[in-house]
Amino acid sequence: MNRINSIITLRHFEKDEPLILYSPDAASVLSMRMLNEIAAINVYVYDDNSFYDLDREITYGSNSYIIDRKPKNCRKVYMQARDIIMAQEADIDLDDH
């Protein structure tokens, strides 16, 4: 079952859009990993290993939404913990839409 359990926002330059990653890991688990200097985080990716972008793949209706394209894989990414601005809890079921 594909489920997004946390949304991670990374540090960015003022002129750039923030990089947002979607993870099957719980936000509480990510918070504990951020205590280390290097955080190992599982994130959803497309077939070509580029980061999955839920905002680009979602179509909103009047009372619902449809996810047009689902992520194919999950990869472990290592990053400096200080570059993580926010790890937000989420509960998005990708298979149910």
Query: Per-residue pLDDT tens for 67-86?
Result: 888 888 899 989 888 888 88
Residue 89: what pLDDT? 92
Which of 70, 90, 69 has its CA nearest to residue 9?
A: 90
Say whether pLDDT at 35 is over 80. no
Q: What is the mean predicted confidence (pLDDT) over 27-34?
A: 75
Return the amino acid letter for 84: I
pLDDT at 1 over 70: no
Secondary structure element (H or E) that encloses residue 22, with its range: strand 20-23
Q: Give me the mean pLDDT over the 46-65 stretch.
A: 85
